[in-house]
Amino acid sequence: MKQYFDRLYKNTNSAFMAELRRNLENNRKTFIVTANPEAFMFGEKDPEMDALLMDDAVTVVADGIGIVKGAAMLDVQVAERIPGVDIAENLMQYGHELGKSIFMLGSKQEVLDAMCRVLAEKYPNLTIAGAIHGYVPDKDAAFAEIAQAKPDIILVALGIPAQEKLIYKHFSKFEKGIFVGVGGSLDVLSGSKERAPAFFIRHNLEWFYRIAKEPKRIKRFYNSHVKFIFRVRKEGRKLRG
Ligand code: UDP
């Protein structure tokens, strides 16, 4: 578990965003994993997830407060959260400023339709290279289409760990592109689902808001986040002897 925390990006949100913009500008191929407790818990169970979390070619950022707090418990200094939804939104803005292109894979068709309308209105200089919803049976074929389109930004919204594993499987076929698994970010950025009000974000209670809105998330929350806390505590005790 500790090895995943050591892989985390340590600097501030603004430093990260500046690097991201430079990578996009210079066509530097990048794969970002926005880690939440679930991601690290999957890593311990799933060899593919473990391999990608440990790969130096992959940038791992602390999406949620659970990862930032867990890092502190294991004496890993992480400046702050870098939420995936902010990465997705900033990429759209940078892409617009730099005249780049975007491909989206995942989420529901109506979410993609709404997202395309938002992009055309708010980020008209960002070209939409393609959009394929996340319920097609053959995701590898979808990725072959992405490879043909050679987009600059690739957002994959299938949920953890499917989105990360899919990107990792196809990453070597690409010469450029900023790849991010964005979970439910397109639901929010398209206006289809509300992000938590500022109060919840400010007090690091976004996770609580999401459960309150969607109680079916409770089981998932218990299986990842609650077990995660016990797991990190155990690792902390090991560390301190
Ligand atoms: N999704 C998908 N295909 C699937 C399962 C999920 O496209 O087979 C999408 C779903 O529509 C949602 C996203 O994946 O947009 C996952 O969202 P969730 O909020 O569960 O992810 P989180 O942000 O919690 O990782």
Where in the chain are the domains?
A: 2-239
| In this structure, CATH architecture of domain 2-239 | 3-Layer(aba) Sandwich (3.40)
Q: Write out pLDDT tens, residues 85-108.
A: 999 999 999 999 999 999 999 999
Q: Name the E strands within 39-125.
A: 58-62, 101-106
pTM: 0.95
Residues contacting ligand 1 via CB (< 6 Å):
106-108, 134-135, 157-160, 183-184, 186-187
Please report, in angstroms and rounded to a whole number, the separation of the first and last CA atoms in the chain.
Answer: 16
Burial per residue of 1-39, b for 16 or more beta-carbon CB atoms within 10 angstroms, e otherwise: bbebbebbbeeebeebbeebbebbeeeeebbbbbbbbbb
How many Å lie between the centroid of ligand 1 and the Cα of residue 241? 40
CB 43 within 8 A of CB 4: yes
Q: Write out pLDDT tens, residues 100-143.
A: 999 999 999 999 999 999 999 999 999 999 999 999 999 999 99
**From atom 5 of ligand 1, which residue's Cα is the shortest distance away?**
158
